[in-house]
Structure formats: structure tokens, C-alpha cells
A and B are shown apart, each in its own frame.
Chain A
Amino acid sequence: MPTISRRDFVALTVAGAAATPFLLDDALARATAGVTAQEIVDRVKKHVGVDWSGDDVDTFKAGDPSTIVTGVVTTSMATLDVLQKAVQAGANLVITAAPTFYSKADLRTPAGRGQPQPDPVYAGKNAFIEKHQLVVFRLTQHWNQRKPDPRAQGLASAMGWTKYKTGDDALRYEVPATTLDALANQLKKTLGIRGGIRAIGDRTITVRKIGLLPGYTMIQAAIAMMPGVDVIVAGEVQEWESATYAQDVAFAGLRKGFISIGRVVNEAAGMQVCADWLATIVPEVPVRFISAGDPYWRPL
């Protein structure tokens, strides 16, 4: 499986990952080698380069770990749409950054608010998983501890910023001068974002120094980064923390900006990197990335 180029990544993201089926003969031939989902996860744990602490986040969320794997899909979020595309592509192991079942608890049945069962959305997703004997594994806490941060690395690669990296710091880039408005539009277009991108600051300011805050970050991270950059590009922040801080910085007349691209969009960049890496440790079966896209749209 060749690694997916930046252009492919962009095309996949923009198109919502139109799936190209793996060659069936290849898939069958490889399946006879008989690598199981558990064996693949064991290889991930061994090679990820991060201490695999016992946790309840990076675990199997659905399916039988002893299932023989026909193909692997990595994704930002294992939505039903992504699972359908994975099946079309001949894969049966899905490795996701975000939960599969709608909450941090990631349980296959509704819990917490006591709504009557069955829930048609849980039921529909479980039925699809069972019909196609899919296996879903969440990989996020350990994957995102890798250096450089895969979400920053993937984002920089997609944006063509890798050559502008500041020293060894995958979170900082010095790009040719642009405006905050142009940068926000470039991010939107290149990453295939619909309604999830939002920005703070004077649209007309010139920006060169970009700082990345991948994933979900708290106020301390924004305060530490803002003085050294012209603009922060973050995944997700809380409005009463970093967004308000950026508002205050902009109101004070400092020529700085802040852009939030959305958590799911940001995780997609990291899981693209994950697919490329997995292909090197799982040679028996095809590995590919399928984006969940941007969850949000905006009314006209």
C-alpha cells in the first residue's frame, strides 16, 4: 500500500473520502496470512513509541479482537458514514481518534440520561457493525503523545507548511506573509471545512508566524503561545477561556489572530499520519485513511 500523498489526503478530505475499493484478489490473498485485530493492536502498542499505560480510552469499542483483518481504515471519527465507506473499501478494522458511541464513555448502549431503549441511532449503528462483523478500536491518547504531534504534523503537511517549520518545533511555522482573512480562507479550502472554522481578530492584519494548538487545549496553552506568534490555529477551545483571551488581545489593538478549525477536522490530520505509519507495521493488509469530514455546516 503506497502512502497517501498530501494531494490524496486533501482530495479525500474535500470529497468526504470517496472510497476506492481495494482490489478484491489482494484482500483475499492477504487475508489468508491471517493477521487479527488483536495482533495489529499489539503491534501498535509495541511500536507506537509511547509508554502504553493502562487506560480505558484506547481500547476496542466494538467487534471481536480475534477477527481476521481484511483491511484497516483510520479515521478522525468512526461515524456510520465512515463505517459504510470502510466496508465498501473492503476493510473490517476501523481505528478512530474520536469515540464511536457519542460520548466520552463510548458505550454501545445509551447511558447516563436514562432515555428509554432502544435508541434508533445506537441500534442502527450496532446493527451495521454486527452485520459486517466490524472491529472498532480507539487510538488517541497514546497516538497524540508522539513527537512531533501527529495532528500538527498532518496539518502542516496538508497546508504545505512543513518547509516553514521553526527549528524542530512542529507547533510553529513562519510562512510567507498573508492576511488573517486569507489564512482562514486557505485553511477552510485546503482542509475541506464547511461551517466549523471560526476566527477572532482583525481580518486585515498581516500574519507570518503561526502557532498550532492541536486537539483540545486549555487557556494556559494559548497564553503560553500567543506572545511568540501572529496567529494561533487551534483545534477546539472553550469559549470562556482561549476565545475570550483572543478577543481581549485583539480588542487591545495587538495585531494578532486566532482561528479554530474544529476538533474532528484537526484529528483527521493526525489519523492521516497514522495510516501512513500503520502501513509500515502492518504489511499484510491495506491501510487507508477515511475522513469523517467537518460535522458542521452553516445556514445561508
Chain B
Amino acid sequence: MSALTAGEVVNRIKAVMAVQGVAWNDATTRDRFKFGGPDTVVNGIATTFMGTFEAITHASGRGLNMIIPHEDTYWNDPDNTLIAEADPLVYQKKVAFMTGHNIVIFRIHDHMHRQRPDFTFSGTAREVGLDPSMETAPNSHRFVIPETTLGELAARVKKIRGDDAIRVVGDPNAKVSRIAVGAGMATPAVSSPDVDVVIGGEQREIEGTFDSPEYVMDAATLGVPKGWIIIGHNMSEESGMQEMAAWLRPIVPEVTVEHVRAGVVYWVP
């Protein structure tokens, strides 16, 4: 049996995506090889949220040399290595590790968000305890739960996720039941009249295009029941990389596919 190459893995991903209605867009700067290339022989595959040094090291330790991250590897979205090369502390160490361990990295972001379901959303909903039966329509990312308070809902989300750095805006006593789930950067509009709470990843604090914590703060002052539960970019998309690993397994039966966490980003004092 000939060895499985990274190029073959990517060709199969593109082919299955196409069958599932997601035509490959070659113009993307995101979904490309970020280290290594199509000729690298694949011993095992790790999906992860981000190409962190930690994720790469842990994957390699498990014998998985092809990394499929959802986000970037070089600390900027287009993965411009000129930006990373300016760093004298860790960039060369990371590259040396990847070279020494025959790592190949292929990012999957834009096309993953075009899949239905978008695993970043369905993974997050699963991870924060929102049952698909509560979704208003398939892939609506809107859930209706029995009425509770923002404080109780936030505590439940934190307990299920287990991560500390969850940030909440709004009156803890606000009565809420209609949830909009977001993933990654940019949150669904909390101002929508049919949304009480947004559970989302990351949003600019004051200069977003649409939303800011200020809207929720003012809603609290006015007694309008609204809430914002910001679980972090990592926490909002890492779960979906478990779904991505499950999606990949039947496509590449020759090798092991595992999900490896990119690491806990923040701790809190």
C-alpha cells in the first residue's frame, strides 16, 4: 500500500465537500497549506481550533503529524509569516519543531463555515448543553429553552464548558429563554427583538460593526431583558473540531484522526 500524502487527504476533503454542496474556492488565503506540503506523508491527523505550539506538540506526541486547524498558525489571519518572523522568542522554535517532526498543516476555515451543519455552531451548541430539539429550525442557531435567569444560564454554561474565562454582560436576574448562538468572531445581533441572550465567541468591545456590551448594559438599565455570554473564540469553535474529526474519519480510513485541544487560552484572577 502506498503511503497516504497530505495532498491526497486534501483532495479527498475537496471531493467530499463538493459532493456535499461546498465547491472549493481556490482564492481563499485561509484554507491552504501553512507548513509542509502535499508531498508530506501522513501518519495521523489532528484537528484543532488553532495551530498553537501546544496543539502541534501534543499532536506530534500522539504520532499525528498532519494538523488541521480551524484558525491561523502564525498569529495573524492571513498567516503572513513575515509578521511572525519579527518575533525573536518563539517563532524559530516553533518552525524548528515542525521541521524536526515532519509536521504538515492545512487549515480548514472558510469551507467549514459553508458546510451544513456548520460544525462550529453545532459543536458549540452541544458543548453548552443546548439540545438540537430546542433549535427553532435546522441550522437557525436559535434555541428556545424553558425560561430561566441570565445568571442561572451563565452558570450552567460555565459549568458545562468548565473554562473560567467566560464573560457575561447584563442583569443576572433578567428572564430569558430565546438564545442565539454565535461562533468565532462577531456575535449574532442581541438587539433582535426575538433574541434574549447571545452565547458567542468574540466581539470587539466598543467598535464592532453592530453589537457591543454597551447595548446590553443599557438594556439592563432600562429593564429590557437581554444578556451576552461571551465564551471566547477558542471555546466557541474548538468543540466543532471534534465534529470535524468525526467527519474526516471515514474519508481517510488509513490513518488515525483525533481532536487535540489548542489549549486553554486565558485564566482569570
Residue numbers of A with Cβ under 8 A of B are: 77, 79-81, 84, 97-99, 102-105, 110, 112-113, 115-116, 119-121, 124-125, 181, 184-185, 187-188, 195-200, 203, 216, 219-220, 223-224, 226-227, 236, 238-245, 247-249, 251-252, 254, 256, 260, 262-264, 267, 292, 295-300
Contact = CB atoms under 8 A, between A and B. Distances in A.
A184 B87 CA distance: 25
Given A125-B218, A245-B87, A252-B93, A298 B269 contact: no
A50 B201 CA distance: 36
Which residue among A125, A181, A249, A299 has the maximum number of chain B CB atoms within 10 Å of its CB?
Answer: A299
B75 A254 contact: no
Interface string B154-188: 11011000001111110010000000000001000
A239 B191 contact: no
Interface string B46-80: 00001011100100000000000001100111000
Given A247-B54, A300-B155, A262 B75 contact: no
A174 B146 CA distance: 53
A298 B75 contact: no
B147 interface: no
B39 to A, nearest CB: 27
B13 interface: no
B224 A121 contact: yes
A120 B222 contact: yes
B168 A99 contact: no
Contacts of A252: 53, 89-90, 93-94
A240 B151 contact: no
Interface of B: 50, 52-54, 57, 71-72, 75-77, 83-84, 86-90, 93-94, 151, 154-155, 157-158, 164-169, 172, 185, 189, 191-193, 202, 204-219, 221-222, 224, 226, 230, 232-234, 263, 265-269
A254 B89 CA distance: 8
B94 A248 contact: yes
Contacts of B191: 102, 110, 113, 115, 119, 121
Contact of B75 (A98, A124, A244): A244
Contacts of B76: 219, 240-241
A249 B205 CA distance: 25
8 contacts: A97-B206, A99-B207, A113-B192, A197-B268, A238-B202, A252-B93, A296-B167, A299-B155
A200 B93 contact: no
B221 A81 contact: yes
A246 B193 CA distance: 39
A248 B266 contact: no
B269 A199 contact: yes
A79 to B, nearest CB: 5
A99 B189 contact: no
Given A195-B268, A244-B72, A264-B206, 12 more contacts: A102-B212, A121-B222, A184-B269, A198-B165, A236-B205, A238-B202, A240-B76, A251-B53, A262-B205, A292-B214, A295-B205, A295-B213
B206 A263 contact: yes
User: Which of B218, B222, B224, B266 counts the most chain A CB atoms within 10 A?
Assistant: B218
